[in-house]
Amino acid sequence: MHYFKQFLLTLSPNLLINYLFMKITLSNELPHYPEFKEGIRRAPDRGFRLTPAQTEIALKNALRYIPCELHKTLAPEFLEELETRGRIYGYRYRPDGDLKAKPIEEYKGKCVEGKAFQVMIDNNLCFDIALYPYELVTYGETGQVCQNWMQYRLIKMYLEELTQDQTLVVESGHPLGLFKSKPDAPRVIITNSMMIGQFDNLPDWEIAAQMGVANYGQMTAGGWMYIGPQGIVHGTFNTLLNAGRKKLGVPQDGNLRGHLFVSSGLGGMSGAQPKAADIAGAASIIAEVDYSRIETRYSQGWVHKITGDKQQAFAWAHEAMTRKEPLSIAYHGNIVDLLEFAEAENIHIELLSDQTSCHEPYTGGYCPAGISFEERTRLLKEDRTKFHELVNESLERHFRVIKKLTARGTYFFDYGNSFMKAVYDAGVKEISKNGVDDKDGFIFPSYVEDIMGPELFDYGYGPFRWVCLSGKHEDLVKTDKAAMDCIDPTRRGQDMDNWIWIRDAGKNKLVVGTQARILYQDALGRMNIALKFNEMVRNGEVEPIMLGRDHHDVSGTDSPFRETANIKDGSNVMADMAVQCFAGNVARGMSLVALHNGGGVGIGKAINGGFGMVCDGSERVDEILRSAMLWDVMGGVARRSWARNANAISTVREFNRSYAEGYHITEPYLVDEEIIKTLKIL
């Protein structure tokens, strides 16, 4: 006891209070300023637009994380960040070096979930994965894990203290605190940028973000479940393969050898395109204005050739098509210039899309034709009005050339990046399908409308994923084999596609970051695989596994221009499904549950949610999986069935027969079209 008293006397008053009452707070010692590694991408200065009064509040908001004795030193530092970067990131509080995910046992924590989420956060922010690691941006130009490094440090401290009788609540990156709960409740609940309707628009959001009260979580950035570009490779592979089947006459057991796919973007999400095209067998040309992104994909082996010559790019593609060999080509330049060249030279493009970050067209996500990437960055800081004008002009050019190409037989699909909505907002109203507004969508289909919706989502197939928290490759190999064994490839064509995908996943070298995998599965497939993984953990075959999915899923997102683009009963503008999915996963005890505004299409254009579930081998987790995995998928299939989608109706009927005890989904009665046509509707 004497030594314990002596120890307490050595502590400062603040540390003594923290020790005695377990207060979780940042230290009153000023951290040293970290070094910034040369060659790591940095977020652009997005401009400073706060009033003096708002600036004062923004500074107070950032300083409230920090003991008062440090405020005088840090206030001018934070003001400089705000004025020169457009955000307060709190760089001084960033840990040194690369935040590469470590094996779970190397993290501190009082429960497996608390340690598991630290693995996921660091994986989202490591140099290999994060788009702008120093600004906490994982992907999608603005998608952040949290707003600043003070929040990061506090979240990590809370996760180290978290027990199975507590829940950590995070609101737009801010760790609200630990709250007493119970083992079968979520360990973490997250919301991001859930703005009141009147203010749910990009200009108001930008002010809120600069003031430090709104975080753009994208989908799996602020939900801590991003697994690198692999997370979208499978969906892109499915999209391209099914586009070939529907539009190019590719047989069910065939591939895209001899066919051409053209698109843009080699960033965190869009970088999946050349890899997916390779796996599908296509020749692909992907335009990218940021050479550092091209270098990243080339060093990973995800693009095979690089050129800034349009003629050379198409020549290489033509040679590969003639040989019927896959070949991925990065074109360093603007997609508009590339397409205008193809149109002028009468080059036929079979499959065409776009993956620029058009959910953020005026804050750097779209680089206008006619200027360099460097000029784009300068204008973002110095002349936003001019930049806005150039974006609008470029989007109209982009639309015009696509219209010419499609008239010649090109199949163009919006790949969920809000491209068509951006064109519409730029003033090109003829892209509207109904000629009046954007509520019925646009003259070109969304990939969900044409492909992903009817062929996958309506059946319940979506981007299920898992992370081997041990960081061991052998655990990933074992889980790949177990997942493959859970799939019956003879049940549906989708099952055969997915069985082949997981069979070949290892040789396709998809892992970037920690050991993780994505595999499209339906409700039954996800539940069976999840239960098998938990059994493997229980038996000591593998260490704990984190389950999750992209928010871009059957039930996860309400977005009329993307995830719910093939819902035609008028409810495409409603967000009930995503909110109910979130609430249901909370009620059923998923380990982490997240709900965000914006996603891949922009603030005010989507509500999206996801989950993380730690398989620790317990019977408790088995019970949660049996309830939650079916709910997480079938809530969305039910909504799609109620919208009268034929494949969803058949899936619901089969589900109602198979799960008659404890479940029943409402089925629609279909109206004879002739009855409606005979009515005299004014």
Q: 427-431, 550-554, 589-593, 600-604 — which is least confidently predicted?
A: 600-604
**Cα pseudo-dihedral 388, 268, 122, 83, rounded to 10:** -20
Predicted structure pTM score: 0.89
Indicate if the pLDDT at residue 593 is higher than 60. Answer: yes
Q: Write down the pLDDT at residue 363.
A: 86
Q: Write down the pLDDT at residue 18.
A: 53
Mean pLDDT to the nearest integer, 346-367: 92
Mean pLDDT of the chain: 94
Which residue is associated with the tokens 């008053």? 13
Burial zone of 305 (CB within 10 Å; 0-12 exposed, 13-18 middle, 19+ buried)? middle
Indicate if the pLDDT at residue 486 is higher than 50. Answer: yes
- Give the model confidence (pLDDT) of 618-628 as tens digits: 999 999 999 99
Indicate if the pLDDT at residue 15 is higher than 70. Answer: no
Q: Write down the pLDDT at residue 287.
A: 97
Give the number of residues written for the chain. Answer: 682
* Under 8 Å between Cβ of 488 and 495: yes
Q: Write down the pLDDT at residue 595.
A: 98
Indicate if the pLDDT at residue 343 is higher than 90. Answer: yes
SS3 content of the chain, % helix, strand, coil (to 5): 45, 15, 40
Mean pLDDT to the nearest integer, 403-416: 93
Indicate if the pLDDT at residue 7 is higher than 70. Answer: no
- The more confidently predicted of residues 300 and 174 is 174
Indicate if the pLDDT at residue 32 is higher than 90. Answer: yes
* Under 8 Å between Cβ of 457 and 554: yes
Indicate if the pLDDT at residue 501 is higher than 70. Answer: yes
d(CA 458, CA 274): 27
Q: What is the DSSP letter of 587?
A: H
Residue 600: band (very low, low, confident or very high) from pLDDT cuts 50, 70, 90: confident
Mean pLDDT to the nearest integer, 392-408: 97
Mean pLDDT to the nearest integer, 139-168: 97
Q: What is the secondary structure of 30-72 as a DSSP string?
A: PPPPPPPPTT---PPP------HHHHHHHHHHHHTTS-GGGHH
Mean pLDDT to the nearest integer, 511-516: 94
Q: What percentage of residues in the chain have a pLDDT greater than 90? A: 85
Stretch (H or E) spanning 465: strand 462-468
Mean pLDDT to the nearest integer, 290-307: 94
Q: Write down the pLDDT at residue 449.
A: 87
- Give the model confidence (pLDDT) of 98-127 as tens digits: 999 999 999 999 999 999 999 999 999 999
Q: Write down the pLDDT at residue 3.
A: 53
547-580: b (≥16 Cβ within 10 Å) or e: bbbbbbbbbbbbbbbbbbbbbeeebbebbebbeb
* Under 8 Å between Cβ of 118 and 60: no
d(CA 642, CA 658): 19
Indicate if the pLDDT at residue 207 is higher than 50. Answer: yes
Q: 290-294, 414-418, 598-602 — which is least confidently predicted?
A: 414-418
- Give the model confidence (pLDDT) of 170-182 as tens digits: 999 999 999 999 9
Residue 46: band (very low, low, confident or very high) from pLDDT cuts 50, 70, 90: confident
Helices (H), 350-448: 373-382, 384-407, 419-425, 447
Q: What percentage of residues in the chain have a pLDDT greater than 70? A: 97
Indicate if the pLDDT at residue 1 is higher than 80. Answer: no
Residue 20: band (very low, low, confident or very high) from pLDDT cuts 50, 70, 90: very low
Q: 19-28, 321-330, 428-437 — which is least confidently predicted?
A: 19-28
d(CA 460, CA 634): 7
Token duo for residue 581: 């999915």
Q: Write down the pLDDT at residue 146.
A: 98
Residue 434: band (very low, low, confident or very high) from pLDDT cuts 50, 70, 90: confident
d(CA 195, CA 365): 22
Q: Write down the pLDDT at residue 2.
A: 53
